[in-house]
């Protein structure tokens, strides 16, 4: 598979918390998708993976489903906002930052029969 470097803008700020909550419960992405479906949110494992990878926009109307499945308050789905910093600055930082505090690591795959390679997007 061929690699391509693309700059991917983060589509949500709750993905990391959702991943952490799922992981702490020992659930797979498929198990989380099933729990969400049982509560009435029609998503599959692929969408859960995209949400956790912050490449899928999460609608505000979908957040209560996650909160209910994890049995947490809505605010626990969001990262801690620093009260001494402007909200806009914090949101901008969260949408730009990767797991390591730098640009996100992105794997892009095409239909070509060569291995995918991790690229550092910033």
Give 122's pLDDT tier (boundaries 50, 70, 90): very low
- State residue 96's pLDDT score: 78
Confidence of residue 93 (pLDDT cuts 50, 70, 90): confident
What confidence score (pLDDT) does residue 108 get?
36
What mean pLDDT, rounded, does the chain reach?
79
Q: What is the pLDDT of residues 35-84, one digit of tens each?
A: 999 999 999 999 999 999 999 999 999 999 999 999 999 999 998 877 88
Lowest mean pLDDT among 4-13, 17-26, 28-37, 88-97: 4-13
Query: Whole-prediction pTM value?
Result: 0.70
- pLDDT value at residue 81: 77
Residue 86 pLDDT exceeds 90: no
SS (H, E, C) 65-97: HHHHHHCCCHHHHCCCCCCCCCHHHHHHHHHHC
Domain boundaries, the chain: 15-120
What length does the chain have? 122
**Three-state DSSP class for residue 118:** strand
Superfamily of domain 15-120, CATH level 4: lambda repressor-like DNA-binding domains (1.10.260.40)
Backbone angles phi, psi at 120, to 5 degrees: -95, 110
Give the side-chain half-sphere CA count within 13 A for 54: 22
Q: State how far the Cα of 76 lies from the Cα of 78, in Å rounded to an integer.
A: 5
Q: Residue 89: is its pLDDT beyond 70?
A: yes
71's torsion region: left (phi>0), alpha (psi -120 to 50) or beta? left
């Amino acid at each position: 598979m061929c690699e391509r470097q693309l700059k991917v803008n983060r589509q949500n700020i709750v993905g990391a918390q959702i991943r952490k909550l799922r992981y702490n419960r020992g659930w797979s992405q498929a198990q989380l998708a099933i729990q969400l479906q049982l509560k009435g949110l029609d998503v599959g494992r692929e969408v859960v993976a995209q949400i956790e990878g912050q490449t899928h926009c999460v609608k505000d109307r979908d957040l209560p489903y996650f909160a209910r499945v994890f049995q947490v308050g809505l605010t626990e789905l969001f990262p801690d906002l620093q009260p001494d910093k402007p909200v806009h600055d914090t949101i901008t930082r969260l949408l730009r930052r990767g797991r390591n505090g730098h640009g996100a690591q992105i794997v892009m795959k095409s239909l070509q029969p060569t291995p995918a390679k991790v690229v550092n997007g910033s």
